[in-house]
Amino acid sequence: MSVTARRSLLAMLVPLLALVVWLQVQLDPMRQRYQPGKVTNIEIGTQFVAATLIGLKEVVAGLLWVRADEFFHSGNYAAVIPIVRIVTWLDPHQIDVYDTGAWHLSYNFTDSQERSDRRYIPPAQALYREGIANNPDIYDLYFAQGWMNFHKVLDFKKAIEAFTEANKRPAVDPSTGKKRMRPQFVGHTLAHAYRKDGQIDRAIEQWRQNIKDNERYVRESGDPGEQVMVDVARNNLNQLLREKEERSRLKPVKDAKFEAQWQFLGPRKFRVFGTLDLPTGARVRLVLRDKDFKEQEFQKFSWDIDTNQTILIDDLYVRDGRFSRTIDIERDVSIYPLKAEQYVMTFTFNPLTAPDFVQDVIGFKGEGLADQKYLVVRNGVRMLEKSFLIKRNQLL
């Protein structure tokens, strides 16, 4: 190598090494927010820098992701997010990293009773949006974002938007890079989302389209074993048609006798309880939040959440017409800081999220639901809701 070439290489190496050091300095303190007192340094070895120098950014990204897997298995979840950030910078087409990172934020940061820290939902959404912007022509991240809204957030309209976009796009064969038919479950999940949102006719229409799409999938794949998905779609369509017919006869006469209360048990500890005259297995959603709580908005992905906010969400199981649970957040000060002066505690029963056997009694959107005190109607959905305004000194 000539002297000139060596000097050129050195000129490239010095700023890159400086960048690695700077990244390490920036990332380590931020991880402390997730795991105070247990920060694990992410050592980026010289082999990573060398690979980057010769243009193998994807190799570096893959090696770092292997390192992240070690942190997952050891339970050091706080160390994973900075690696997600670095990997997606190096290789913005790592769709599994985007998906895993967003899932990790949404599900893995939990309190001592396994409730998710809901403050990480907006960063997860932002990570999905970035991933979609970098990979707009395949179905994967649209579907993943839709699933989070469907399963975790219970925002069925946003889920429908994402699933609809997923349903317009193909998959890619990872071994060849060639486009191929997207999995059949994409269309199926869109139909389920329509149903959960109470859009029954749209769900029926989507199941009929799914049957046609699945039949084409069987023809083009040449695999007769795929016929099972055609049968699944037909069964779902027939079941939904029966449910629509049966539930169309429901009238708002089922008095739910809904009541909800809370009781202070000690600092950061309280009991919530009440009645709901619906089949065992129904659930009441509890939300405790700052009175002026507003979900953060992230134009770009960041895990810099507002640590002063408090929002707790729990689902209360109904058995024999009653529900009760003790909420103890004494060990969860970092997740529920209780720094506001006032809070709103809300108990809600939403028919859209109810199990099928409960909807058999009250309908898809609460058509058969009545209550003398707490019935509210929002966007055509008849639901039950009771709220309390609570001062900070009532919780501490």
Structural element, H or E, at residue 236: helix 227-247
**Is residue 332 over pLDDT 90?**
yes
Q: What is the pLDDT of residue 173?
A: 86
Q: What is the pLDDT of residue 75?
A: 64
Mean local confidence (pLDDT), 29-48: 41
Identify which of 126, 180, 172, 170 has the alpha carbon closest to the alpha carbon of residue 148: 126
Predicted confidence (pLDDT) per residue in 199-211, tens digit: 999 999 999 999 9
Residue 361: CB atoms within 10 Å: 18
CA 209 to chain centre: 27
Identify which has the larger pLDDT, 28 or 307.
Answer: 307
* 0.95 exceeded by pTM: no
Predicted confidence (pLDDT) per residue in 155-212, tens digit: 999 999 999 999 999 999 877 888 989 999 999 999 999 999 999 999 999 999 999 9
Intra-chain end-to-end CA distance of the chain, in Å: 70
CA 40 to chain centre: 26
Out of 3.40.50.2300, 1.20.1440.120, 3.30.70.1140, 2.60.40.3760, the CATH code matching 254-394 is 2.60.40.3760
CA–CA gap between residue 301 and residue 128 (Å, rounded): 9
DSSP 98-162: HHHHHHHHHHT-B-TTS-B-GGGHHHHHHHHHHHHHHSTTSSHHHHHHHHIIIIII--HHHHHHH
Domain boundaries, the chain: 1-91, 254-394
- Angle, CA 41 vertex, CA 69 and CA 17 arms, to 5°: 100
CB 98 within 8 A of CB 130: yes
- Angle, CA 122 vertex, CA 117 and CA 128 arms, to 5°: 120
